[in-house]
Structure 1
Amino acid sequence: MEINRPDVVAEVTKKFLEYEQAINDNDIEILDAAFLESTYTVRFGMTEELWSHEEIKAFRRSRNTAGLQRNLERYEITTYGDNIAVANAIFSRENVNKIGRQSQTWIKFGDGWRVVSAHVSLVDKR
């Protein structure tokens, strides 16, 4: 298995950055499409535990969208073969004295790359 084939890293990086832009724009359609439509898809957030694509969609439609904009400070995309990738990122938000951390597992299906598992958390700035 080849790790970090440049063409695969480029594909996933494009999807990852589209997702990041959708967060800042609160583009729910792109955010929903990034996740696999499955009961097995999981997203753990700051305060929520979402155990399916349907729960993730419902959360996005009910949450407060004030202050969602964030600055991506660092990210790393690691690919394993041409169908599996892991994205890890650090982000910040203006006027928030915390650092955000995000991890995502991306799998390439017949219709493209989808997140199957994600986790977002905040920690105090050091």
Structure 2
Amino acid sequence: MALELNRPEVVAQVEAAFEAYEWALIDNDVDTMNALFWDAPETVRYGIAEIQHGGEAIRRWRQTCAPVPRSRRLHRTVVTTFGADYATVSTEFTSDATPLRGRQMQTWARLREPDDAFGGWAIVAAHVSLIEPV
């Protein structure tokens, strides 16, 4: 069976969920950010200077972490979907807070009912890093 890549309706759903996460990040809306991460021990988030394993660890970290700068801007965002229930989102970001270039990757899976607030999508793994601009 061939896997369908980038079905337009699935890409649109993931883009909407990713945009909701990005707005929550900029607004420091911790409840929405937490809602968009899968609440399971298998969830992993590698941050710039920290590591969280499990939804509970991610929620605890979010209670004390500094908000991202409001000047954050995304560049070269790529959404790739695999079938109807799995996707990756890769993006680069900049802000006035640092001359470094950020990189962010998220793995998304449809783990909930499709009629929930985010189309059933949740982040199951994430990685954020900073590098010198090239």
Normalised by the length of structure 1, the TM-score is 0.95
Separation in 1 of the partners of 2:10 and 2:87? 9
Alignment partner, residue 131 of structure 2: 123
| Structure 2: tracts of 5 or more residues without a match | 114-119
TM superposition outliers: structure 1 runs of 4+ over 2 Å = 64-69
Deviations 1:13-43 (A, max 9, x none): 0000110111110000110011001010000
SS class of match (2:63): helix
- 5 Å-filtered alignment, 1:1-126, equals 1-65=3-67, 67=69, 69-111=71-113, 112-126=120-134
| Structure 1: tracts of 5 or more residues without a match | none
Letter in 2 for 1:124: E
Post-superposition shift, 1:105? 0.4
Structure 2 CA distance for partners of 1:68 and 1:120, relative to 1, 3 Å: farther
Letter in 1 for 2:102: G
Separation in 1 of the partners of 2:69 and 2:10? 32
Letter in 2 for 1:14: A
Instruction: Indicate if the aligned counterparts of 2:72 and 2:95 stay in contact, CA closer than 8 A.
Output: yes
Separation in 2 of the partners of 1:8 and 1:91? 24
Instruction: Indicate if the aligned counterparts of 2:26 and 2:70 stay in contact, CA closer than 8 A.
Output: yes
Separation in 2 of the partners of 1:68 and 1:42? 25
Count the aligned residue pairs.
126
Q: After the TM superposition, which of the residue ranges 20-29 and 68-77 deviates more from structure 2?
A: 68-77
Separation in 2 of the partners of 1:19 and 1:116? 13
Post-superposition shift, 1:73? 1.6
Separation in 1 of the partners of 2:45 and 2:86? 17
Normalised by the length of structure 2, the TM-score is 0.90
Post-superposition shift, 1:92? 0.4
